[in-house]
Structure 1
Amino acid sequence: MKTVYSFLLLVLLPAVVTAQKGIHRELTPIRGHYKQLLQFSPKARSLQEPMDKEKFITDQETVKQRMNLTPQYLTGVKVDDFKLPDAPVNSSEQTRAEINYLLALQKYRTKEDIRASLYMADVYYSHRVQPGDSSYARYRRNLFHIGRSIGSWFNPESLPVTADFMAKVWRDASYFIWSLKFKYARIRPYVIDHDLKNLQDTDWAAYPSGHAANSYINAYIYQELAPEFTDVFVKDAYDMAHSREILGVHYPSDSEASRIFARQFVNMLFQNKAFLQDFEKVKQEWAAKAKEDFRK
């Protein structure tokens, strides 16, 4: 009996330790045009390039407003705890190559590409919205944009606990995304090359992409709830990131930095006790409601 008990400890202990420590996943390898662009140097062509001094200037009132909504889970985390590559310098070969790629997208983007990308530009969440506001339902639905095809039950009405939970996650994410934007202050690609016609007006820094970051965050969290749909979640996030490039408002390296940030951010969440407690409640909701009701 003692031998059997010892064997069970050896088998089960790793699972127990994993549960205590939470989930930590590695970032999947970079691919496609994101990988190909890494062959170009991200460094300045010379020390005398005037464009390298250009930064996006955010007024202090905006900074104060964005930083006012502090994290609810990652309260002890600082922005420098996230390890992102530096944004390619404005005069660098990589920036030029990225803009050339965006110009190619501009040349070949179709009316449907534009329509879908502009639709996705409105997929975000406002932390200041309140129940009863005319936009409240729309913002809540936006929390379920990533993975929207996995079931008719995948919505804030069927999964209210999940909606509240993801809203809290977005609050944490927004704090750090804005912190990174203020830190890097990267100008938009159309500021460098006026041949690039952006299809959306933006009044904040480029690096990293907030749309892409929040989408990958949702994908990585929903992945843990429905791993059989991982490909769907990640594809939806990839499409969101690419839509920002189609519109000409983000460099590909903005998208890739967002993917890197999202993986680190979600890994940190899964080491957080308060997050894990709320995540268990979400899992219980999914166990009860994440299925079709064919009796209606």
Structure 2
Amino acid sequence: MMATMAVASVLTSVANKSVLNKASLNKNKNKNKNKNKNKNKSTMDGASLGVSQLIPSFELRRLHQQPSRNAYTAARRFTWEMLDILPPPGPDYTRLETTVLLSMQRRDRERVRRLPDIQIESTISVGEFTRALHIEDLGGFEQTEGLFQAILTACEYVGLIYKSQFNRLRPNQFEPMLRPLLAVPVHESYPSNHSFQCFSIAFAFSTILPEHPATDELARIAQNVAENREWAGLHYPSDTQAGRDLARRFAPYLHDAFGPLFQAVHDEWV
């Protein structure tokens, strides 16, 4: 299976590395001690899995130990590769969506206002979320940072599989009058990986600490990051919604794969 071959290659490259190991390096640091802002702050470009990242290899292997119960597909597909999300809309609805994107493109003032965030968010960082939790400059939250980075990495991998399945053209490929604010990624449009990754972090934290007052703020950040990709001319609104739907349906598999790290984050806060 192609997905199995892909993950096997990744696992070979980083066989002894995992985000869980990374996250436990500084467990005994005082939570009130300042730390270097740049330490362990790696980012992703949303286009490929680089071996420079600490790939959550053991957790990805757990995902690949959950085959479909369907006897006809179990040999070649895994349950999380066949989650029930709607296919992208047809050409008529897509034309309506590009009309919306063109109207957004004409709102120069709003585009200029959003441009700095759009540029920063082109590479998703855990800092988008640790700032909302007020732990960006504190020691003692390495497990939380590690989980967030692991989710970004794992969901990038899974999201690319769904993009390949749906093979939707980018908005500017469908409507040449659109002028994206950033270079257009080479992979397909649907679903939005930024939406999928960011909402997966929000849903994971909500699962771990449902009563935490920042859970709503993390969801708001995820929505804003995803909508900024629309303002940039890179995604349709339906791409954003599909990313959120995929995050919700993928959440139980993410919890199964990263269960020990979910527990470590809970222990870090409680």
| TM-score (normalised: structure 1) | 0.61
Which residue in the other structure is 1:192 paired with?
A: 174
Pair 1:220–1:115, CA change in 2 (3 A): same
Aligned partners of 2:105 and 2:178 also within 8 Å: yes
Which residue in the other structure is 1:104 paired with?
A: 103
The reply to whether residue 260 of structure 1 matches residue 259 of structure 2 is no
* Paired residue type of 2:188: A
Residue 244 of structure 1 and its aligned partner are, at CA, apart by: 0.4
CA distance in 2, matches of 1:156, 1:143: 14
Counterpart secondary structure, 2:63: coil
Residue 107 of structure 1 and its aligned partner are, at CA, apart by: 1.0
CA distance in 1, matches of 2:130, 2:145: 13
Alignment counterpart, residue 168 of structure 1, candidates 121, 128, 150: 150
Q: Which is worse superposed, 99-108 or 277-286?
A: 277-286
Alignment of 1:87-126 (within 5 A): 87-89=88-90, 92-108=91-107, 109-123=110-124
Which residue in the other structure is 1:207 paired with?
A: 190
CA distance in 2, matches of 1:175, 1:264: 16
Task: Compute the RMSD of aligned alpha carbons.
Answer: 2.5
Counterpart secondary structure, 2:160: helix
Pair 1:154–1:72, CA change in 2 (3 A): farther
* Paired residue type of 1:118: Q
Counterpart secondary structure, 2:177: coil
Which residue in the other structure is 1:30 paired with?
A: none
Alignment counterpart, residue 200 of structure 2, candidates 207, 217, 220: 217
Structure 1, gaps ≥5 residues long: 1-61, 124-141, 288-296
CA distance in 2, matches of 1:225, 1:155: 22
CA distance in 2, matches of 1:169, 1:193: 33
Structure 2, gaps ≥5 residues long: 1-47, 68-77
**Identity over aligned residues, as a percent?**
23
CA distance in 1, matches of 2:61, 2:136: 25
Which residue in the other structure is 2:33 paired with?
A: none
Which residue in the other structure is 1:143 paired with?
A: 126
Pair 1:72–1:160, CA change in 2 (3 A): farther
Which residue in the other structure is 2:63 paired with?
A: 74
Aligned partners of 2:118 and 2:228 also within 8 Å: yes
Aligned partners of 1:147 and 1:236 also within 8 Å: no
| TM-score (normalised: structure 2) | 0.67
Aligned partners of 2:140 and 2:268 also within 8 Å: no
CA distance in 2, matches of 1:114, 1:276: 37
CA distance in 1, matches of 2:141, 2:246: 27
Pair 1:99–1:170, CA change in 2 (3 A): same
CA distance in 1, matches of 2:132, 2:97: 31
Runs of 4+ aligned structure 1 residues displaced above 3 Å come to 154-158
Greater Rg by CA:
1
